[in-house]
Amino acid sequence: MADRRCACHSHRKEKRCCGPFHAGKLPDTPTQLMRSRFAAYARGLYDYIIETTDPEGPRWVADRAAWVASMEQFTAMTRFAGLRIVEAEGDTVTFHAVLEQMGQDASFTERSVFVQRDGRWLYHSGDPTSPAPR
């Protein structure tokens, strides 16, 4: 794991932030999982996104190849410019992601719901919230 800043914009080094989660350590909290999933999108770690998505939730995609292809398309056109945790409470995390797509602002705010299965936190679902809180 490279000695670089973490892609979740924590300003910490990757090896002391989301890197260990990408390498197999289990996040203790939904916020850690949320940050590490953002960083995984930014780094193109599609297996991590799949492994941390609830197979029983609405975001699960049965066709893995199609899922990876859509993530590749998304990340190829997106710059993951910033991340701010707005609120974390229980099994929900509200975050604001600063994204750019082809020079256009594509930022969004989402309230994500996480579930714990067999001791592992998984991303279950998310709802956009608007307008974005400041």
CA 52, CA 122: separation in Å to the nearest integer? 5
Contact call for residue 82 and Zn ion (CB under 5 A):
no
Q: Which is nearer to Zn ion, 2 or 62 (CB)?
A: 2
For position 18 contacting Zn ion by CB under 5 A, the verdict is: yes
Are 85 and 10 within 8 A, CB to CB? no
Stretch that binds Zn ion, among 32-40, 56-64, 91-99, 110-118 (CB under 5 A): 32-40
Question: What is the C-alpha to C-alpha distance for residues 91 and 94, in angstroms, rounded to an integer?
Answer: 10
33 forms part of the interface with Zn ion (CB under 5 A): no
Strand runs labelled E in 34-130 = 78-89, 92-101, 104-105, 108-117, 120-128
Among 3, 17, 25, 43, binds Zn ion (CB under 5 A): 17
CB of 17 to Zn ion, least distance (A): 3
Q: Give me the torsion for CA of 65, 112, 77, 21, rounded to 10°.
A: -70
| Binding of Zn ion by 10 (CB under 5 A) | yes
Q: Which residues bind Zn ion (CB under 5 A)?
A: 6, 8, 10, 17-18, 35, 39
